[in-house]
Amino acid sequence: MQKDIISEQLSRTAQFVYRLNSENSAAIKCMVNVHWMNLDIDRTLALLQKRWT
């Protein structure tokens, strides 16, 4: 159940990130870091990239 909630939140975060342009990459990293402190930042960004490529 917790996994489904995290997956949905990650999906929504990915959609939000996808709408931002690359100039905001530092802001994206900060946002992702704040929302996903329990996950490794590079792993999280990799998941976001994988979702949208």
Q: What is the pLDDT along the chain (53 residues), one digit of tens a residue?
A: 677 877 787 877 777 776 665 556 766 666 666 665 555 667 777 777 776 65
Q: What is the pLDDT of residue 11?
A: 78
d(CA 42, CA 40): 6
The 8-class DSSP code of residue 20 comes to: S
d(CA 21, CA 3): 28
